[in-house]
Amino acid sequence: MKISSNGDQLVSQVLTGEVWPSLADSRGYRVGPDGQPFALPGMGGVTLGVHCGDPATGYASDHLEPGASVRHRDPAANAALQFLTCVGNPVRVETGPAAGAVGHVIGQHAYVLADFPEPVLAGIATGDSVTVTACGQGLALAGHDAIVVKNCAPELLQRMPGGSRPDGRLEVHVAARVPAEAIGAGVGMSSEYANTDLMGAYAGLGDDLSLGLESLRIGDIVALADADHRFGRAYRAGYLTIGVISTGQCMLFGHGPGPSSLLSGPAEAFHLVDDPAANLACWYHPELETAQ
């Protein structure tokens, strides 16, 4: 992105975490939109076969978290890990057969979500230790004072197309535009924690549940209408939030594929360009595949 930022003033912090197991309870079932009981995998642990650029929905899964899901064992250290980690930060595997492999953060979902090439991911298991080099919180854009940056590594900003325009607006390429009606679970929470579930993306279920969001892909950059995520996630008419789809298929009602928040401000501060290539896969994944 052709834009000046304070990226060179930020510090990086070395954080650790471990690939955290999927969690369930003894009753097992949860409830879908029409009352369907379900017990489906996807959240926690290591979820294989779904990466940036792949469809977000259409799986027999709930709260699909692509790649490795990471937490820290100590609650306060985990809070630091979840809040300080930004999309685009590198994640290095420290233990197990995949030790030495490097992936990148694609978002948060009460876990830090790290995508790795499939062959690397196949060698990662619950309990493996990882190192996250966290950098990005505090990032600010020169000349775009109304826009607040969230959870965004400086490198990600540089790789995104667009940038400052002569009219003073920030050009951002987005793969999809999301109406305010789609905002589900996650509204009211901190913008630096977990993500915003999007309703209206229940592929294969009733038309009355659809908001036309069934074609989202993991890693898509999306624009959320009337969403103000500067200080938490809220509805505010005339505001806009740019996010990255970091989680996929949900069966739990009121939930769905979720964007982690990246940029937020008045809608007039942005110039959106509809661009199907606006996906993390275009800026991160090819390089990763080559590096392996």
Partner 1 sequence: MSTRSAAPARPVSVNLLGVVEHPVLGDGPYRIDADGHPYLPAGDGGIVLGLQLGDSVFARKADHAAPGACLVHPDPAARHALAAYSCIGNQVKVRTGHAAGARGVVIGKRGEEGRVVAAFRPAELAVMRPADEVSIRACGQGCRPAGFPAGLTVLNIDPGLFAVLPMVRRPASGEGPVSVGVRCSVPSKLAGNGLGRPAVSWDLDLQLPPPEPGGGGDVLLGDFVAVTDIDARFNVGYRAGWVTVGIAVHGSSPLPGHGPGITPILTGPAGILDIRCEAAGHVGLTAQMLKLQ
Binding site for partner 1 (CB under 8 A): 31-33, 35, 179-189, 197, 199-200, 207-209, 211, 226, 228, 230-236, 252-255
- Taking the complex as a whole, the smallest distance from the CB of residue 226 to partner 1 amounts, in Å, to 7
For residue 140, give the amino acid letter: A
- Taking the complex as a whole, the smallest distance from the CB of residue 84 to partner 1 amounts, in Å, to 16
Name the pairing type of β-strands 234-247 and 185-188.
unpaired
Nearer CB in complex with partner 1: 166/206: 206
Per-residue tokens: 175: 């793969």
Nearer CB in complex with partner 1: 111/253: 253
- Taking the complex as a whole, the smallest distance from the CB of residue 189 to partner 1 amounts, in Å, to 7
Helix or strand holding residue 260 (H, E): strand 258-266
Q: Rounded to whole angstroms, what are the CA distances from 35 to 25, 71, 88, 205, 251?
A: 19, 31, 37, 12, 10
User: Quick one: 201 exposed, middle or buried, by C-beta within 10 A (0-12, 13-18, 19+)?
Assistant: buried
**What is the chain's length?**
292
- Taking the complex as a whole, the smallest distance from the CB of residue 257 to partner 1 amounts, in Å, to 13
Q: Rounded to whole angstroms, what are the CA distances from 120 to 22, 76, 114, 155?
A: 19, 29, 12, 23
- Taking the complex as a whole, the smallest distance from the CB of residue 208 to partner 1 amounts, in Å, to 4
